[in-house]
Structure 1
Amino acid sequence: MKMHDNQLTVSPETVRTLVDQQFPEWRSLPVKSIAAPGTVNAIFRIGDQFTARFPLESADVDATRRWLKSEAEAARELVGRTRFPTPEPVALGEPGAGYPLPWSVQTWLPGTVAADEDPAESVPFARDLADLIGDLRAIDTRGRTFAGTGRGGELRSHDAWMETCFTHSEQLLDVPRLRRIWATLRDLPRGAAEDVMAHGDLIPGNLLVSDGRLAGILDVGGFGAACPSLDLVSAWHLLEAGPRQALRDHLGCDDLEWERGKAWTFIQAMGLVWYYVESNPAMSRLGRRSLERILADTSAV
């Protein structure tokens, strides 16, 4: 089942043709589709070293090319800036063989995504995650601030989206209680905190795990300036109460920052549950699990 109304189909045969035509030096390398819970790209492995990423939603060609170039720039800026490996951009492919958009190639990172090797009870993983967030925050913004319509700016700007989520979730969730929680979260002030550099989407499918420790970070193209609490979504998407507290203690989060991190998680999780309930059950379950953690941590409302 397709996840999006405008979703594109990308087959291994198409990828094979595109690779052979545009990167003939890789003709001898096998092409393999990678089953992943992601919702933005179809992922294929090229040999042992490369990953090809194909945008799944139909879009303007030039706008897609600009976005892929900006993702590559973000990835280059991040390489080597934390102690955790990140993919490096390799090449940009062009439309062809029936696929209508540009596509990208980056280095392959070994490991198991946290969606498959659950680190929820691992305090060492939580401390690794805190180190990552701290390292990202320490990178110079060079004067950049949040720019965009997604998560990372003002909480109240998401009111319309939240209303959509509540409407679509009537048969799935305890919407009256969730509305009351949002009424509190949306009013959290920004405070004096300035934007910092953030990954922007620290969900289980974007983190690699090995022996209960953080082993790598994926999908780094959204690396940019945002609200300092944005990457705290990882605390709720990935960790149970004990490790989550360890992450908070390691970072030294105050109450406001912590609650705003909960708010960003709430926004994302509410969308995941209903939007992917049939087309991507794993993502829908992620949203439910994160909301359950928030509900367990929230005083009765």
Structure 2
Amino acid sequence: MGRMHADEHTVDTTLVRRLVRGQFPRWADLPVTPLASGGTVNAVYRLGDELTVRLPLTEGGAGDIAKERRVLGALGELPVAVPAVVAVGEPAEGYPWPWAVHGWLDGSPAREGRAATGLAEFVLAVRANRAAGPPARRGRPLSTVDPATREAIDELSRTGEPFDPEAALAVWAEALDAPPWTEPPCWLHGDLMPSNLLLRDGRLSGVLDWATAGLGDPAIDLIPAWNLLTAETRHAFREDVDADDATWARGRGRALSMAVIQLPYYRHTNPVISANARYVLTELGCVPAR
């Protein structure tokens, strides 16, 4: 995977070993292994058998270390496993930001076109939480990302990717026209990409990356309907989460917006994210039939 961001800090196995040895000597002899990941904010390494090390790649992601810890502390019990923050490291060895050590979660990342039993149960459990929390990064009205989404649709139409911008604009217009969320803001995860969903025997067993979690419009947590599920399983998911027409339309809009923004940006540097964006656009009918 190439360099994703112009301001990305170089992270490698040697740096991780130095950081762990200098700040957590009890783990100094554990093997450090880079993990293949579709993540765009952190570099992730396995530390021994029971731990992972996460290092933000840019200054913009550095604040997520503390935020994720606060969010996980507020959520309480959930029907799946979530990362346990075991330790937080300090800037050192030329690395400029805080970093974290999490407990390892067993499971395989979800893959496009696969079902995930228990996904709706998880979404509803998060939504039902009544604890105080911060505004969610993607919990605001869709209008707040309208300019960026339209710009990305235009950019994507000029890349040579198989893409129908008119179909994308139609999906986007329907989402913008849908009535907004008028209930009190509720808890949401905000980044239910397949790589953040761990499965065991086809059942959701763990959910990673809580930096985008908080309070807002729950439509964002419907995005697995298009970034993971198929036409055959999408309807059952909608029924299980009891999504009305307006929330479903806003969820489609969120899935579209994320895909058209991600694909031009990551098409040459992150094959996991790029492939998922193409899957979303196909499921939304925004790829011309061959």
Normalised by the length of structure 1, the TM-score is: 0.88
Task: Report the residue type matching 1:68 in the other structure.
Answer: I
2: CA distance between counterparts of 1:259 and 1:243? 17
Choose from 255, 263, 266 the match for 1:265. Answer: 255
String of CA shifts for 1:74-121, please: whole Å, max 9, x gaps: 122335x21211111111111111212211111110111113xx5x34
Indicate the residue corresponding to 2:70 in structure 1: 73
Unaligned runs of 5+ in 2: none
2: CA distance between counterparts of 1:170 and 1:264? 19
Task: Report the residue type matching 1:5 in the other structure.
Answer: A
Choose from 82, 92, 96 the match for 2:92. Answer: 96
Q: 1:146 to 1:187 in 2, by over 3 A?
A: farther
Q: What's the CA shift for 1:41? A: 0.3
- Contact 2:171–2:253 at 8 Å: present in 1 too? no
- Contact 1:51–1:107 at 8 Å: present in 2 too? yes
> Would you say 1:159 and 2:146 are equivalent positions?
yes
Indicate the residue corresponding to 1:34 in structure 2: 35
Write out aligned runs for 1:91-170 (5 A). Answer: 91-115=87-111, 118=112, 120-122=113-115, 125=116, 127-142=117-132, 144=133, 146=135, 150-170=137-157
1: CA distance between counterparts of 2:198 and 2:221? 16
1: CA distance between counterparts of 2:259 and 2:34? 27
2: CA distance between counterparts of 1:189 and 1:146? 20
* Aligned residues: CA RMSD: 1.8
> Would you say 1:231 and 2:221 are equivalent positions?
yes
Deviates more, 1:130-139 or 1:256-265: 256-265
Unaligned runs of 5+ in 1: 297-301
Task: Report the residue type matching 2:94 in the other structure.
Answer: G
Report SS of the residue matched to 1:291: helix
- Contact 1:272–1:286 at 8 Å: present in 2 too? no
2: CA distance between counterparts of 1:24 and 1:133? 39
- Contact 1:46–1:52 at 8 Å: present in 2 too? yes
2: CA distance between counterparts of 1:212 and 1:274? 31
2: CA distance between counterparts of 1:187 and 1:287? 23
Q: What's the CA shift for 1:183? A: 2.3
2: CA distance between counterparts of 1:213 and 1:161? 35
Report SS of the residue matched to 1:106: strand
2: CA distance between counterparts of 1:121 and 1:146? 31
1: CA distance between counterparts of 2:97 and 2:8? 12
- Contact 1:54–1:103 at 8 Å: present in 2 too? yes
Q: 1:11 to 1:191 in 2, by over 3 A?
A: closer
Q: What's the CA shift for 1:242? A: 1.6
Q: What's the CA shift for 1:191? A: 4.2
Deviates more, 1:100-109 or 1:164-173: 164-173
Report SS of the residue matched to 2:9: coil
1: CA distance between counterparts of 2:144 and 2:235? 29
Choose from 245, 267, 282 the match for 1:277. Answer: 267
Q: What's the CA shift for 1:277? A: 0.8
Q: What's the CA shift for 1:223? A: 2.3
Task: Report the residue type matching 2:68 in the other structure.
Answer: E
Report SS of the residue matched to 2:269: coil
String of CA shifts for 1:115-137, please: whole Å, max 9, x gaps: 3xx5x343xx2x41000001011
Task: Report the residue type matching 1:164 in the other structure.
Answer: E
1: CA distance between counterparts of 2:206 and 2:134? 26
Q: What's the CA shift for 1:273? A: 1.4
Q: 1:191 to 1:114 in 2, by over 3 A?
A: closer
Q: What's the CA shift for 1:14? A: 0.7
Report SS of the residue matched to 2:4: coil
Count of residues in Structure 1 that have an aligned counterpart in Structure 2: 282
Normalised by the length of structure 2, the TM-score is: 0.91
Q: 1:157 to 1:14 in 2, by over 3 A?
A: same
2: CA distance between counterparts of 1:6 and 1:245? 41
Report SS of the residue matched to 1:101: coil
Indicate the residue corresponding to 1:299 in structure 2: none
- Contact 1:194–1:228 at 8 Å: present in 2 too? no
Q: What's the CA shift for 1:187? A: 2.3
Q: What's the CA shift for 1:263? A: 1.1
- Contact 1:156–1:187 at 8 Å: present in 2 too? no
